[in-house]
Each structure stands twice: as C-alpha cells, then as structure tokens.
Amino acid sequence: MAVPSNTVQRTALVGVREDLIDKISNIDPTETPFMNNIGSGTAKQTLHEWQTDSLAAASGTNKAVEGDDAVNDARSPTKRMGNYTQISRKTVQVSDTADAVNKAGRNKQMAYEMAKVAPELRRDIETRLCGNYAAVPSTSSVAGEASGAVAMIRTNASRGAGGAASTLSGTTSGYVNAAATNGTLRTVTEAMLKTVMQLAWSAGGKPKMAMMSGLIKQTFSTFTGIAQQRHEVGSGMATIIGAADVYVSDFGNVAFVPSRFTTGRDAMILDPSLWSVCWLQPLQDKPLAENGNSTRRLMWGEYTLRCDNELGNGVIADIQP
C-alpha cells in the first residue's frame, strides 16, 4: 500500500536527537593470574641476579673404615642466575578540544584513556612473563628484555619432537640467552602431566598450579584417572572432582588455571612461591611536555621475572589444543 501524500515521515525530519546511551561497554579480559599468584619483589639493577644451589646426590654406599683418615669431598659452587629488566609503556595524547566537548559515557577523554592504559600494561606484562622469551641486555639503542617463565623452566619438561630447552649465557648459570626451541605439536595426555609432576617432585619441588590456555585446559579437564582426581573428605568416601579444577596427584594437589595470556602451546606446572615479578620502577604515570593545544601523559613500569629455582617447576611443551 502506498503512503498517503504529504505524510510526515521520520526520514525527512530535521533536528531529531540521537539515541546514544551514556555508557561504554568493554569486556576485554583484565585478569592476570600469573602475576596475581606469584610474589612481588624489588630489582636494584637492570640485571637482576640470584643464586641457586643443590645438595649432593644421596648415596647408600657412604661408608668409612674405622680409624681411617678423612678425605675431602668435592663440593659444587652455587649457580648465579639472572634476568634483565624490561620497560613497558603507553603514551596518550589528547587534544584540548577532545577533552572539552560533551561526550557520551565519559567526561574527560584523557582520564578515560588513562583508565584503559593501566590494565593494558598489566596484560602486556602478563603476556611477557608467561612467554617463551630470551633475556636481552639493554644498550644505547636496544631495549632490554626480560625472559619469560616458559623459557626459564629448563629441566623438568615434556617436549614434542625437535623441542629443546632454552640455553644460558653460561654453561650452567647465567641468564636465558636463547628461548626454548618449539617442537612438533602433539595432543597432551595425563601421562605427560604425571611424568612432569614426578620429575619436579624428585628434584624437590612442590608444584601447586598448572597454567595453560583455555583450550588446553578443556583437554586437561577430560583426564579420567579417577585415583588421581579425588579429594579426600575425612574418613568418608572420596568426592570425584569431575571438572578437574583441582587435580589430586600422587605428589599433591594442583590447581588447573586457565589464562588468556599464555603461549597457547605450553602448560606450566608451577610452584608460585618460587616466582616473583621484581620492579625496578613500579607502574606509574606522569605528564609529558606540551607543545600546543593538547595534553600528553606517559604510563610505564620497569620489571623482570625471577625464579628462585626452576627445578621446583615443570613444563609440558608443544601441546596442540
């Protein structure tokens, strides 16, 4: 049916007000489970260093002849480990006009942008700390880089074909100067988890957390070893934890923690008490010089990752979700 002539329609109206609600929706994730679960420390140099040590292997043949002279035992020196600090930053510039006009969902544009910058930086730092990155010393023209956790876990590992641990700047100590070599992707199995847990336990570790991507966690949640997935409830019957959020292994409980900022191909088996993010300069912001009708602000932090002893942790690498 045709519209009667001279009917006033919306399409011809002038001066119709917009229907823009005074709200801005942002659902980007800001959780940083790795940083939230490890310690926080202080760095005092761009190369942050610490020492590790271990006991001599246990021996069941340690014996001596009565009255015999004592012979000095060989002793091993400590290992001096390190990681370089990295500066992560965000710079925002907003014109005076953009701050002055009436806007929906926010008042001052600079304040709105800076409110987004803080969680953006934490996401960047979380991604770095969880990654497979080498440490890089800073120079007058090269930015310093901090090694990530996947690269720092070298000993207790299950890797795909062709995969290899990271290398150190020294033979047995130093900083990670080359990231771990990725191997052929494969499907993760419960046997891999058991193997890595046993390796970490044998070395003296007590892992409490397994961190992985959401897709990998879905596979972990399908593990069917009932004896390894039950939680003792006093003297009564055991309750099966079907979702596998807590995995009760032969060597203690391990929480399966999904993270959006891991490599997507590795599952880290962690003792959080052995890790710290160490700040040379904590997250902070300051105004920058103005040159005209605009305002600039900088937010930054300088940090590194320390693992007191990587032997207490493990990694299942080269996992195909």
Average pLDDT of 15-33? Answer: 75
pLDDT at position 234 over 60: no
User: Which pLDDT value is given to residue 314?
Assistant: 97
- 8 A C-beta contact, residue 185 and residue 213: no
Query: CA-CA distance, 195 to 201, in Å (whole number)?
Result: 10
Bridge partners of 181, per DSSP, are: 164
State pLDDT tens for residues 250-273: 888 888 899 999 999 999 999 999
User: Which pLDDT value is given to residue 69?
Assistant: 93
Two tokens at 26?
């942002």
User: Which pLDDT value is given to residue 105?
Assistant: 84
Domains in the chain, please, with CATH? Answer: 33-50+80-316 (3.90.1690)
Could you identify the residue written with the tokens 């907003």?
94
User: Which pLDDT value is given to residue 19?
Assistant: 73
Q: Give the predicted TM-score (pTM) of the model.
A: 0.87
User: Which pLDDT value is given to residue 242?
Assistant: 42
pLDDT band at 301 (very low <50, low <70, confident <90, very high): very high
Strands (DSSP E) along the chain, which ranges? 39-42, 47-52, 79-84, 86-95, 157-158, 167-168, 176-178, 209-212, 230-231, 239-240, 246-249, 252-258, 267-270, 275-287, 294-307, 314-316
- 8 A C-beta contact, residue 201 and residue 164: no
Query: CA-CA distance, 77 to 182, in Å (whole number)?
Result: 31
User: Which pLDDT value is given to residue 16?
Assistant: 73
pLDDT band at 225 (very low <50, low <70, confident <90, very high): very low
State pLDDT tens for residues 37-95: 999 999 999 999 999 999 988 999 999 999 999 999 999 999 999 999 999 999 999 99
Two tokens at 235?
């003297």
Average pLDDT of 228-232? Answer: 48
User: Which pLDDT value is given to residue 6?
Assistant: 66
State pLDDT tens for residues 274-295: 999 999 999 999 999 988 999 9
Arithmetic mean of pLDDT over the chain: 89
- 8 A C-beta contact, residue 223 and residue 190: yes
User: Which pLDDT value is given to residue 224?
Assistant: 63
Burial 269-298 (b: 16+ CB within 10 A, else e): bbbbebbbbbbbeebebeeeeeeeeebebb
Rg (CA), the chain: 27
Kindly report the length of the chain: 321
State pLDDT tens for residues 125-162: 999 999 999 999 999 999 999 999 999 999 999 999 99
Average pLDDT of 216-223? Answer: 87
